Structures are given as C-alpha cells and as structure tokens.
Structure 1
Amino acid sequence: MTTQLSRLRPLTARIPGSKSITARALLLAAAARGTSTLWAPLISHDTLAFKAALGDLGVAVENSPSDQYWDVTGIGRAPVGTAKVWCADAGTAARFLPPFSAAGEGTFTFDGSEQLRARPLSPLLKAMTALGAHVETPSAGRLPLTVRAAGLEGGTLRVDSSMSSQFLSGLLMAAPLMRRPVRADLRDSVSRPYLDMTLSLMRRFGADVKEPDNGVVEVHPGSYRPTALVIEPDASTASYVFAAAAATEHKVTLPGLGVHSLQGDLRFVEVLSRLGALVEVSEGSVTVTGTGRLRGGFTIDMGDISDTFMTLAALAPLADAPLTIRGVAHARLKESDRIAAVTHNLRACGIEVDETQDAVTIHPGPLRPARIACYRDHRIAMAFSVLGLAGRVRLTLDDPSCVAKTFPGFHQEMARLFTEYITPEFR
C-alpha cells in the first residue's frame, strides 16, 4: 500500500489567508502609528466587514489592485471622536472593536446583522465595565451597543471565556492602550490556541507582553509599531480539503502552513492521522494522503480546535466504528448552534447520532441523499460538502453561498482538486 500511495499525484491546494490572523492584524495595525502591510489577507465577507468597520473608526485600509496586500495606516492610539460602526456578520469585529474604542475618547455605536445580534456579548461588556468603560446596550448584552469612551484603567482582567476566547483576545489587544498594566489568567479559557495567536501577534507588533506564571500574562502600557506581515493560509478552512483527501485516497499539499504556524487548528491533521491518514508537516507545507480506510472507535476532546469539529463529524459516518467528539459546548454559540446543526443534518442523512450539551457520538452507517440546513453557517456548508464528496451521496445545501463568509471560492476549489466533486447546490 505504501508504494501505491507514494505514487499518488500530489494536488496543491489554494487556501485563502487566515481569518483569525487577518482580523487581529487589522486591529493591531490600526492601533500602530504608521503604515503596516498585510500580505495575502483573507478577502471574504467577514474581513471586508472588519475593514469597513475600521474605516468607520477613522482608519484607512488601502488594497493593492489585485488584493495581494492591504496597507493599513494606523492612528497610533485608540479611536477618538464619534462613529457608527457596522459589523455585518463579523463576530470578530463585534468582539475586538468595542474594547479598542473604549480605550479611546468619544461615542461609538456598534451594530450588526440579525444573526450577529443574536450572539451574546455579556462577558465582554461586563469585563469592559470593570475596567472603567461606560457601555449602553438596550438588548441585554447583545448588539446594538454604545460605548461612551474616556479611556480604560487596566488592572486585573476578569472575563468569562467559557463561551469564546474572542472576548479575552479583544481585551488583551486593547491592553497596551490602557493607563495601567493588565494582568490576565488564561488557564480557564476555551480555545487557548487562539489566545496564544493573539499574544504572538501583539508581540510582533511591538507590545510588551510577559508571562510571569504559566497561563498568566501581563501586558504593559505602550504602543504598537507598524509591521509587514505575511498571513498564513487559514488552517480551519484547510481542514476541509485535508479531510476530503483523507476520505477519498487523494494526496493534497498546502504550501504556506508548517511546523511554526500560529494557528492551533492545524492540529486537525493530527486527528486525521488518528483516523488513519498519512500526514506530513514540514517547515513550509502540510501534506495529507488518504489510505482508503477511516478508523473510528475513539473519543476526542476538540475544545481547543472546535472550529474543525464539524469537519471530523462529516467524516465520522464513514469510519469503521463510532466516534465521540466532546468539549465543544461553546460551539453552540457560534454562527449557529453547531452541535444541534450537525446532529440534525447527519440524522437527515440517515446517520445515528447521540447528542449531549457538549458532545456528539456519531455511528457509521449508509448515507441517503438529503437537504442540508446550513443555518447561514459557512462551516456547516463546507463540512457537509465534504461528506457528500467522500460518501458519494447527493447532498444539497439550502444556502451554498454562505461559504463566502470565509472562503468565497470554496466550491470552485473543491471541484478543481477533486474531479468527482459536485457543487451541492439546492435546487
């Protein structure tokens, strides 16, 4: 088998830039004094919404003619003035920009789509208030909200991060703009790799970040400096092409990701290795090769890489034994209730699923054609597209275009890589 697999023609994937890195880099560049260049940013609904929201706050972001890079002319401080900021569907904008504005001076109103309005912000707003912010929200801890800013004091940062690490990331990125040092304990936060990404990028842009104790960080007042940054391909998005390779006996290589990646979701390839795929991670690329068999029969905690749990759930019906995915309760508070969405759609495909508050157990079995309810959630659409391809079953999406939130060209890239792929559009 090894000889046969080694002869597979490698397919080179084209995955757009990381959404998480793009959003963080945009904010950090906005706070720096001078012009930062962000190479290979993600061009998608969410990042364009973030870019436009920064424009509302007075930050100029100019793109090259082919969008190869964005030049961000930072204001060297937190925002000053009055602004109405539209976040559209972008959760990162709604969670990163209010702390940034609260560190400045003025009145800033934030709002977004109905989908974004439904997502809770209470832990973030409570923590901002404890730091000295004045926040008005008529919708019980949700958008719309108004920040009447007069700077933030700093001090000990206490925030409930059991729902999302983005609350803490937003506050940490605003910390150098506060009047006193900020101290935060990260040990009980979900999705810790995203916090590590935040801190790494803050240091890259010149922040004074120390870790005196394991899991405790201190951020000292100061400023950000402009930086040129090459943005890695999105590891969460790459999970779909890697999963498709693992399940279809293809060999897929993605340049630009490697052993030094900032993204915790690259650990998804370790999950694929446990399933039986061959995985190679080098300095500058990742390669996944399917072996013709997917092994089940185990339980895995995906709390730290929960954006990829749906990708594994899409492969689980094809494994040789049941799979249990746990530790993902916070996935219920994303663009959709992702545990419920996965359960509903797998059952529609004829698959037996056991669901708890923070876990699913998926039993292998024959698939039947089904209409997939996407719930306007890009990750549901992409994950079930992989299941349709790998299971060779006709699945139709009720909203195939929702993938534009993070990967507008998803269906085209899947068809380019896998000739058997049929765009699962709903007709």
Structure 2
Amino acid sequence: MTIAVPATPALDARIPGSKSLTNRALLLAAAADSTSALGAPLVSVDTTAFREALSGLGVRVEPSDDHLVWHVTGLGRGPVGTGTVWCADAGTAARFLPPFAATGLGDFGFEGSDQLTARPVSPLAHALRLLGSEVTTGPGGRLPLRVRAQGLDGGALTVDSTLSSQFLTGLLMAGPLMRRPLTLTVPRLVSRPYIDMTIALMRRFGAEADETAPGEFTVRPTGYRSTDTPIEPDASTASYVFAAAAITGTSVRVAGLGRGSLQGDLRFTEVLARTGARVETTDEATTVTGTGAFRGGFTVDMGDISDTFMTLAAIAPLADAPITVNGIGHARLKESDRISAVEDNLRALGIRTETGHDWITVHPGTPAPARIVCHRDHRIAMAFSVLGLRAEGITLDDPGCVAKTFPGFHEELHRLFPRHRVPTAGLLVPAEDRS
C-alpha cells in the first residue's frame, strides 16, 4: 500500500521511561546497601503500584517534587517483618517481590486485582519451595500468594520459564541475597531479551551473574551496591510512535534509545524495516521514517519481543500482503489473551485473520468503523490507536487503560500526528475541529 511521504524533519517523541527498567531498578535499589537515585523513572499505574508494594516491605522510596528522580533507600538484605502487599495490576510486582521477600525474614502476603489474580504464579511458587521457602497460593496456583520467609539457601534447580520470563527474572534478582550461589537451568526460555536486560542491570548494582552454559545462569551471593541509574525511554511504548511514522509517511525520533539500549523491544524497528520503513539507529537515538510503502508477505517470530506483536498486527491490514507473527503463545497469559483480543478486534473491523496457539495471520483490508474492546489492556488500546490514524471510525471502550504505562499517550499521539485521527472514547472528530 502506497502513502504520500512529506519532506519534513523528524519529530521528537516524548516517550516515558521504561516500565521494565524502572521496576527492576526499584527492586535492585531496594536490596542495595545504601541510597540509589533512579533518573527519569516511569510514573504510571504499574510503577506506582510497584513502588507502593516495596513500601509495604519496608523500603523507603522518595520521589523528588517533579518526580524526575526517585531516591530509594536500600535495606542491604531481604525484608523483615509481616504484612500484606497489594500488587494491583502489576505482574512484575507479583513475580519479582515474592523471591525478594523470601530472602528476608517474616510472613508476607501478596494480593492483586482480579485481572492479576487470573495470571498464574505456580511456577514461581514451586521454585521458591525447592529453594527452601514455605509458600502457599490461591486456587489454581494463582494469587493470593503467601511467603513465610527464613532466607533462601540457593543451590541448583530447573525453572519453567515457558509461561513468562518474569519468573526467572524474579529468582535471578533474588540470587545475590541468598546464602550460597544460585544456579538456574532453563530448558526453554521465552522473551530472552528481558533476561539479558535483568542481568545487565544486576551487574550495574554490583551483582555477579553469568550465563555459564546455554540456558544455565549462575548468580553469586554478593549482595548489591547502591548506584545512581538513569532509566531509558520505554522501547515497547516507542513501538507505537515508530509504527505510526511508518504508516503515515512521517519521521519520528526517540532520543535515549540507541545502540547501547538494554531493551530488546527496540528490535521492533527491524520488523518495521521489513515493511519498507527506513530505520536509523545511532548511539543517541532511533529514528523511523515512513517511505510510502507498507509491505507484507512475510512471517516473523516475535517471541522475544512479544509486547510489540500487537503493534504490528494492528496495522497489518494496511500492508500489501498478509503478515504472520509466530512464537507468541505466552502472550495469551498477559493482561489479556492478547492473540484472541487482537483477532476479535480485527474481525470486528472486518479484517480477515487466522490464529493458532502461538501465531496470528492478518490479511490486507480496509478497516470498517468499530469500537475496540481493550480488555483493560494498555497495549491493545495503544496498538489500535495507531491503526486509527489511518482508519475511519475506530473508538476505544477504555481509553484510560493506557495509564498503566503511558498516561499521556493519547495527547502525545495527537501532538505528533495532528492531521490524523486519534481514537478515544465516543465519536471521533477531525483533527482540525478539535480545540
């Protein structure tokens, strides 16, 4: 499909900090031996929930007045005490904090929203039991989860990471607080870039963590040192403005996301390049420019960057041939069954799709007006908002769910693409008629 390409300079997108980096850095700083400063953290529903959950474990987190820096006073160990921790909708809180609590001393409960309770925690609970902790879960191996903590010895075990890499991440980050080295063997790992990110960040805080053999990770009981850490813009969130540039024939630049990024989701730009977009990555920034073509006719494995598969699938109807995404079975266990949610919404738009357990094929077509069912899932809302820049009559049943990771998403999309329609709730009006 061909689109007109205006000769304009790149627009600088205002992308908030990475949720993945913010919550990992919060935990590592909480376990460190002194006070750490986190620069430009993401301020959103999920990160605020994680920060408040840490407070429930006795960790002091003090935001600056402008929230541009969060000061975290580390415990230098696992938490001590008793209490119930509210995780809200934050999957990272439910997967990262129980291992941290298990390295301490006390009795800690973890509860969450109905949406979070529907997501499994049994692989994590099983691993913690094998490491010597007393752990109970709710029906079906779900929240609420209770940890009676007396520290963790460490040792060797095999981890089921096929449902979520967050289970492995939580155990890895707890490793330096155990009494002896921890060795985790992972027969099959999904979302590998998130593990690489975790290990790189752990090393910044003084941990000794290595992949000692393929699929085998060893962490030594070194503890953590406090460190000041800048937070990169969120690469998953950047996927929406990059995709919007590709389908509108404009150019968008995200500063702070360059060659040295810790985030694997920046590889989404490689997928956009296959559709015909021009991608430039320097040490300082990444720029995507729509070239006037949006090509399909390919299959891509997005298992390692599954948080961005919806971005591609939502705009795939605009391509000139079908696009198939595979390797994404674990996306069915996120905030929603994301494969089914994408399929159902595309079909509501009149777009032909086929799906299997871990794949989806989207055929070209002209989207009809429809109301997108977001399932309280921020990524569904943001992905279909991008399609709405090129398709008439798309609205969202829950535009506010974007606050989970990007409270100002709709405003930023309108700022960058004022000549296009930005889907929200209710009726859409032409950009020139908006106040």
Same fold (TM over 0.5): yes
Does the residue aligned with 1:152 lie in a helix, a strand or coil?
A: coil
Residues 380 and 6 of structure 1: CA distance in aligned 2, closer, same or farther (over 3 Å): closer
Task: Identify unmatched segments of 5+ residues in structure 1.
Answer: none
User: Structure 2 matches for 1:305-344, cutoff 5 A?
Assistant: 305-344=305-344
**Which residue does 1:261 correspond to in 2?**
261
**Which residue does 2:222 correspond to in 1?**
222
Deviation per CA, 1:340-389, whole angstroms, max 9, x where unpaired? 00000000001000011110110001110001000000000000000111
Which moves more between the two structures, 84-93 or 154-163?
154-163
User: Structure 2 matches for 1:4-403, cutoff 5 A?
Assistant: 7-186=7-186, 188-389=188-389, 391-403=390-402
Separation in structure 1 between the aligned mates of residue 417 and residue 210 of structure 2, nearest angstrom = 46
CA contact (8 A) 2:158 2:186 kept: no
Deviation per CA, 1:238-295, whole angstroms, max 9, x where unpaired? 0000000000000001100100100000000000001000000000000000011111
Separation in structure 2 between the aligned mates of residue 169 and residue 324 of structure 1, nearest angstrom = 29
CA shift for structure 1 position 158: 1.7
Does the residue aligned with 2:142 lie in a helix, a strand or coil?
A: coil
Does the residue aligned with 1:266 lie in a helix, a strand or coil?
A: helix
1:426 aligns with 2:421: no
Residues 7 and 423 of structure 1: CA distance in aligned 2, closer, same or farther (over 3 Å): closer
Amino acid in structure 1 at the alignment position of 2:423: P
CA shift for structure 1 position 180: 1.5
Amino acid in structure 1 at the alignment position of 2:43: I
Separation in structure 1 between the aligned mates of residue 137 and residue 338 of structure 2, nearest angstrom = 26
Does the residue aligned with 1:78 lie in a helix, a strand or coil?
A: coil
CA shift for structure 1 position 6: 9.0
Does the residue aligned with 2:67 lie in a helix, a strand or coil?
A: coil
Task: Identify unmatched segments of 5+ residues in structure 2.
Answer: 427-435
Does the residue aligned with 1:137 lie in a helix, a strand or coil?
A: strand
CA contact (8 A) 1:258 1:283 kept: yes
Residues 140 and 373 of structure 1: CA distance in aligned 2, closer, same or farther (over 3 Å): same
**Which residue does 1:408 correspond to in 2?**
407
CA shift for structure 1 position 235: 0.2
Does the residue aligned with 1:148 lie in a helix, a strand or coil?
A: strand
Separation in structure 1 between the aligned mates of residue 160 and residue 393 of structure 2, nearest angstrom = 42
CA contact (8 A) 1:59 1:74 kept: yes
CA contact (8 A) 1:126 1:159 kept: no
CA shift for structure 1 position 186: 4.1
Which moves more between the two structures, 188-197 or 7-16?
7-16
CA contact (8 A) 1:414 1:421 kept: no
Which moves more between the two structures, 131-140 or 207-216?
207-216
Separation in structure 1 between the aligned mates of residue 193 and residue 137 of structure 2, nearest angstrom = 30
**Which residue does 2:433 correspond to in 1?**
none
CA shift for structure 1 position 392: 2.9
Separation in structure 2 between the aligned mates of residue 337 and residue 214 of structure 1, nearest angstrom = 30
Does the residue aligned with 1:33 lie in a helix, a strand or coil?
A: coil
Residues 334 and 5 of structure 1: CA distance in aligned 2, closer, same or farther (over 3 Å): same
CA contact (8 A) 1:321 1:364 kept: yes
Separation in structure 1 between the aligned mates of residue 197 and residue 106 of structure 2, nearest angstrom = 30
Separation in structure 2 between the aligned mates of residue 164 and residue 150 of structure 1, nearest angstrom = 26
Separation in structure 1 between the aligned mates of residue 186 and residue 246 of structure 2, nearest angstrom = 34
Separation in structure 2 between the aligned mates of residue 39 and residue 5 of structure 1, nearest angstrom = 37
CA contact (8 A) 1:45 1:405 kept: yes
Does the residue aligned with 2:259 lie in a helix, a strand or coil?
A: coil
CA contact (8 A) 2:82 2:108 kept: yes
Amino acid in structure 2 at the alignment position of 1:42: L
Amino acid in structure 1 at the alignment position of 2:351: I
Separation in structure 2 between the aligned mates of residue 350 and residue 102 of structure 1, nearest angstrom = 50
**Count of matched residue positions in the alignment of Structure 1 and Structure 2:** 423
Q: TM-score, normalised by structure 1?
A: 0.97
Residues 126 and 371 of structure 1: CA distance in aligned 2, closer, same or farther (over 3 Å): same
Separation in structure 2 between the aligned mates of residue 42 and residue 10 of structure 1, nearest angstrom = 24
Residues 8 and 186 of structure 1: CA distance in aligned 2, closer, same or farther (over 3 Å): farther
Separation in structure 2 between the aligned mates of residue 59 and residue 318 of structure 1, nearest angstrom = 48
Which moves more between the two structures, 268-277 or 206-215?
206-215
Does the residue aligned with 2:367 lie in a helix, a strand or coil?
A: coil
Separation in structure 1 between the aligned mates of residue 9 and residue 423 of structure 2, nearest angstrom = 26
CA contact (8 A) 2:125 2:137 kept: no
Amino acid in structure 1 at the alignment position of 2:67: D
Separation in structure 1 between the aligned mates of residue 122 and residue 420 of structure 2, nearest angstrom = 42
Which moves more between the two structures, 148-157 or 9-18?
148-157
CA contact (8 A) 1:255 1:284 kept: yes
CA contact (8 A) 2:5 2:291 kept: yes
CA root-mean-square deviation: 1.2
Amino acid in structure 2 at the alignment position of 1:420: R
Separation in structure 2 between the aligned mates of residue 309 and residue 79 of structure 1, nearest angstrom = 37
CA contact (8 A) 1:18 1:232 kept: yes
